[in-house]
Chains A and B, each alone.
Chain A
Amino acid sequence: MTSFLILAFPLFGFLLLNVFGCFFSKRVSGFLASASVLASFAVSVLMLRDVFLAGAIRVPLFTWFQVGQTNVSFALLLDSLSLLMCLMITGVGFLIHVYSIGYMHEEEGFTRYFSHLNLFIFFMLFLVLSDSFLGMFVGWEGVGLCSYLLIGFWFQTAAFGQAAKKAFLMNRVGDLGFILGILAMIMAFGSTQFSVVFSGASQLPIGSGIITVIALLLFVGATGKSAQIPLFTWLPDAMAGPTPVSALIHAATMVTAGVYMVARSHVFYMSSPIASTVVLCVGVSTALLGAIIATRQSDIKKILAYSTMSQLGLMVSALGLGAYSAALFHMLTHAFFKALLFLAAGSVIHALHGEQNVFKMGGLRKSLPFTFGVFLIGALALAGFPPFSGFFSKDMILLAALDHSPLVFGLLVLVSILTAYYVCRLVVLVFMGTSRSDKTAHESSWIMQIPLGILAIFAAASGFLHLPEALHPEFIVVTLLAIGLMIAWCYRRFSQVQTSDEKTGIVFRKFYIDEIYNGLIVRPILLLARFFWTIFEPVILELPATILGKSVMFSGRRLKQIQNGHIGFYLLVMTAAIAVILVQLLWI
């Protein structure tokens, strides 16, 4: 039952901060929130041994509900996959909590921020620990809610509130697919519990229709949560939230939920070649699109957001290739180095008092040496520079692609080259050259530096957690050369840039995808809504009701005049009525 505590601590932290938060000072609430996540992390570490010995532990908690033959019980499932996720969520989550204490210390809603952060950790753990798709869906919705709340943390700014709504609504589209997938699953297997569903699925022949349908529907959910084509446009806008939120939710944990879900239900995808192909295509095109857009952005967080989208595309491609361990490994290393990059970017933004445009930075390596160091580690890891972590995980994915088809391999190599390019461009623009900012930067406090340092160690070294069986020296040499050349070229190209000259072009405008979505989907829906609002409702629905009501009121006004108050008249009417009734009774 100790595994239950993994979930209990963050929930307790959320309740405590939400109910009694007004009595706590900022220091206390930040400490409580971080401590609850750390406790959860400690319990996860303690569970490692049990899981290692037992393989998988199922902890039944309670029966949720029962409908007909379908019995939905809520249970925790601890196996290597869910425990890996738990460690990643609570570990990175704890560091980001600590960082947030420093980053958010001037904010008004400090306690609200931390209570939502704890709630997010709770739902994320709920998502990865539950042993049925329905339980996963509960966590899935919960993290969507927390994402909405935290993107809209500065809801006083209307644009940020809009970004929060956009993220929420786009996720809803994906969630619809997820729900339909769950329903199809209940129809096919009568349960949503992993063990039942997967044993049922493995008995069906490969390529059977129902499996393909379920797999594709689940993948629709994954595209929403993991920002894949076509439901990705919310992720860059989600950068409206505080930077630690972007690090935690929109880089390290929540957006990997889709990858986790596909990896968890790999039985479906292995027995459905069509679904796997779709996953592969979506993943590769998302990786390419994100990387291309990231090369032309000027907002430091947007660059990282498109990079996240691209890396998620890489993970999804690995899932489509059937290289599940490679996908999960890249997810883990990505969680470290992307969280590190976001937090370091937050440190830069903090130092420049909210400046996010990279063309107004420059030369920061002198004033922010520590941030420069950790950012460089994160950037090299993201670019896949050996021996940093990103190299090993990308290497695994690329090797899997090479086994599959040269085309996919070529595209993914192209993605990696683009990745190296935009990362080098980012580092050079922010840290090299001379300062283009009129503000003086100052290094952030120790409470923000410690998490950065720890994450930097993991970003550098986590590649060694899972060394490939055979290292390919030619891979290492080619990568070293390629990235080295890229760095040199970017340095020449961008170190002396004075102002942004890249405000135009189809890539800067993100291929007009937001505009296309607006034109094709949002505007027609708004027009339809306007039609219902101005024509359908008043004319078709309200008019008959209005006519009925008005006629009743009109006849009421006319009939009222009969009741004139003269008793003689009343008696006359009464007598006449009785006479009529008598006549009716006697003769008719």
Chain B
Amino acid sequence: MTWTQVIPAEWYLILGTALFGIGLIGVLIRRNVVIVLMSIELMLNAINLILVSSSAYHANLSAQVFVFFIMMVAAVEVSVGLAIFTVIYRRKESTDIDALNELKG
């Protein structure tokens, strides 16, 4: 009996969904852009968790390859995003998301 069978598969899905929901709510309600970025990371990792667990559950490794891609993209995204926020902070003297209100017609 392996560990995947000790912990039922639903628990992984519930945990992943909960983490995704926390990340989503963080994205939607937090004002600080750094926190928003962290919330996005949380959402990505929630997805990763679900993918990895279901990969183990189905004994299918292709989902794990997908997870590596997501991790890599997340790393890139964080570095680029932080760089952008640094520039924005220099211009706006603020990390409040409502300061970024110029994208309108």
Partner of A575 from the list B24, B103, B105 (CB cut-off 8 Å) is: B24
**CB-CB contacts of B52-72 with A at 8 A, as 1s and 0s?**
000000000000000000000
A563 in contact with B100 (CB, 8 Å): no
- On chain A, the residues within 8 Å of B101 by CB distance are 564-567
For residue A406, give the distance in angstroms from its CB to the closest CB of chain B: 91
B104 near A571 (CB under 8 angstroms)? no
Residues in B neighbouring A572, C-beta threshold 8 A:
28
B97 at the interface (CB under 8 A from A): yes
A567 to B100, CA, bound (A): 7
* In contact, A565 and B27 (Cβ under 8 angstroms): no
Interface centre among A563, A565, A572, A575 (most CB of B within 10 A): A565
B98 at interface by CB-CB < 8 Å? yes
**With an 8 A cutoff between CB atoms, is A560 at the interface?**
yes
Task: State whether A575 and B102 are in contact (beta carbons under 8 Å apart), knowing that A567-B97, A568-B97 are contacts in the complex.
Answer: no
Residue of A nearest to B24 (CB): A575
User: Is there an interface contact between A565 and B103, defined as CB atoms closer than 8 Å?
Assistant: yes
Size range of the chain A interface in the assembly = 10 to 19
Q: Which of B64-105 contact A (CB under 8 A)?
A: 97-98, 100-105
Query: Which chain A positions have C-beta within 8 A of B28?
Result: 568, 571-572, 575
Is A565 a contact partner of B104 (Cβ separation < 8 A)?
Answer: yes
- Which residues 536-588 of A sit at the B interface, judged by CB distance below 8 A? 560, 563-568, 570-572, 575
Nearest-CB distance from B95 to chain A (Å)?
A: 13
Q: Which residues of B contact A563 (CB under 8 A)?
A: 104-105
Q: How many inter-chain residue pairs (CB < 8 Å) link A and B?
A: 28
**How far does the alpha carbon of A68 sit from the alpha carbon of B104 in the complex, in Å?**
60
Alpha-carbon distance A566/B102, docked complex (angstroms): 8
Contact A560 B105, beta carbon cutoff 8 Å: yes
Contact at B105–A567, with CB atoms within 8 Å? no
Residue of A nearest to B30 (CB): A568
Q: Could you jot down 10 A-B contacts, CB within 8 Å?
A: A565-B102, A565-B104, A566-B97, A567-B98, A567-B100, A567-B101, A567-B103, A571-B27, A571-B28, A575-B27
Contact assessment for A564 and B104 in the assembled complex, using a CB-CB cutoff below 8 Å: yes
Q: A560-B105, A564-B104 are in contact. List 10 more A-B contacts (CB 8 A).
A: A563-B105, A565-B101, A566-B97, A567-B98, A567-B100, A567-B101, A568-B28, A568-B98, A572-B28, A575-B28
**Least distance between A483 CB and chain B CB atoms (Å):** 91
Please give the distance in Å from B8's CB to the nearest CB on chain A: 22
Considering the complex, give the chain A residue whose CB is closest to the CB of B29: A568
* A337 and B68 alpha carbons, distance in the complex (Å): 107
Q: How far apart sit A566 and B29, CA to CA, in the bound complex (Å)?
A: 12
Interfacial chain B residues near A560, Cβ < 8 Å: 105
Q: Name the residue of chain B whose CB is nearest to the CB of A570.
A: B103
**B27 to chain A: closest CB distance in Å?**
6
For B104, the closest partner residue in chain A by CB is A565
Closest CB-CB distance, B16 to chain A, in whole Å?
16
Contacting residues, chain A, for B103 (C-beta < 8 A): 565, 567, 570
B100 to A, closest residue via Cβ:
A567
Considering the complex, give the chain A residue whose CB is closest to the CB of B25.
A575
Residue of B nearest to A566 (CB): B101
The interface residues of chain A lying within 8 Å CB-to-CB of B24 are 575
CA gap between A568 and B25 in the complex, in Å: 11
A565: B residues at CB distance < 8 A? 101-104
Q: Are B98 and A566 in contact (CB under 8 A)?
A: yes
Rounded to whole angstroms, the CA-CA distance of A572 and B98 in the bound complex is: 13
Point out the residues of chain B lying under 8 angstroms from A571, CB to CB.
Answer: 27-28
6 pairs of A and B residues whose beta carbons are closest in the complex? A565-B104, A565-B101, A563-B105, A563-B104, A567-B100, A566-B101
Which residues of the partner chain A approach B105 to less than 8 Å between Cβ atoms? 560, 563
Task: Tell me which residues across on chain B come within 8 A of A568, comparing CB atoms.
Answer: 28, 31, 97-98
Query: Which residues of the other chain, A, contact B31 by a CB distance below 8 angstroms?
Result: 568
Measured between alpha carbons, how far is A38 from B28 in the docked complex, in Å?
95
CB distance from A456 to the nearest CB of B (A): 85
| Assembled-state Cα–Cα distance A560/B105 (Å) | 7
Q: What separation, in Å, do the CA atoms of A127 and B100 have in the docked complex? A: 78
Q: Which residues of A contact B100 (CB under 8 A)?
A: 567
CA A572 to CA B97, docked complex, whole Å: 13
Q: Which residues of A contact B102 (CB under 8 A)?
A: 565
- B contact residues around A570 at 8 Å (CB): 103
A421 to chain B minimum Cβ distance, whole angstroms, is: 85
Contact with A along B10-33 (1 / 0, CB 8 A): 000000000000001001100100
> Complex Cα distance A565/B100, Å?
7
Instruction: Give CA–CA (A570, B103) in the complex, Å.
Output: 10
Cα A156 to Cα B18 in complex, Å, equals: 89
- Of residues 64 through 108 on chain A, the ones whose CB sits less than 8 Å from some CB of chain B are none
Which residues on A sit within 8 Å (CB–CB) of B104? 563-565
**Closest chain A residue, CB of each to CB of B102:** A565
Expressed in whole angstroms, the minimum distance between the Cβ of A22 and any Cβ of chain B is 56
Q: How far is the CB of A583 from chain B (nearest CB, A)?
A: 15
- Chain B: minimal CB distance from A3 (Å): 73
User: A560–B104 Cα gap in the complex (Å)?
Assistant: 9
- Give the residues in chain A near B97, CB-CB below 8 Å: 566-568
Residue of B nearest to A559 (CB): B105
Chain A residues 481-523 with CB under 8 Å of chain B are none
Q: Which chain B residue shows the least CB distance to A579? A: B24
Alpha-carbon distance A568/B32, docked complex (angstroms):
11
A567 to B31: give the CA distance in the assembly, Å. Answer: 10
